[in-house]
Amino acid sequence: MSSHKCLKLLHFIGLEFWLPLPILGVAFWFGGNHLTEKVLSRPYSTVNKLQADIEPEFYLSMHVLFIQAEVNRKAGVTKVFVQPINASLKKSKFQFSTTDISQIEIAIAQKLGMSIDNIRKIVRYQIIE
């Protein structure tokens, strides 16, 4: 009879729900620990390895963030704005009397001392009709 009273008391207090929770918690803890150990100890291979002895693809002599060229076809001029990476450096502005894209790229490359390929990678055009 005393066990029947204990069960009624456990049911009344709600302990029959709370008593298995620590056991479940410990079981999840050990299971998660085992799974984590298994995943982290698994060997893996990398396809792309870091190669530090290779030269960068291109080097910007002036460290230019971007170049914006406004091509005004009516006036026949192009205004070029050069933004350096370092904010403390002064922005450069140029004006060329051509609207041909290849001529603009050549002129910018000569002004900045950069290759035409590097100019093509960072210049953005705005064409004004």
Q: What is the pLDDT along the chain (129 residues), one digit of tens a residue?
A: 577 777 777 677 776 677 788 889 999 999 999 999 988 888 777 666 666 666 555 444 557 888 999 999 999 999 999 888 877 677 889 899 998 999 999 999 988 888 888 888 889 999 887
As a whole number of angstroms, the distance between CA 19 and CA 103 comes to: 82
In CATH terms, is domain 64-128 a member of 3.30.420?
yes
The pLDDT of residue 47 is 65
Ordered by start, the domain boundaries in the chain are 2-40, 64-128
Residues 12, 5 contacting (CB under 8 angstroms): no
Q: Select from 45, 96, 91 the least CA-distant residue to 64.
A: 91
| pTM strictly above 0.75 | no
The pLDDT of residue 56 is 52
Partnered with residue 93 across adjacent β-strands are 81
Partnered with residue 125 across adjacent β-strands are 69
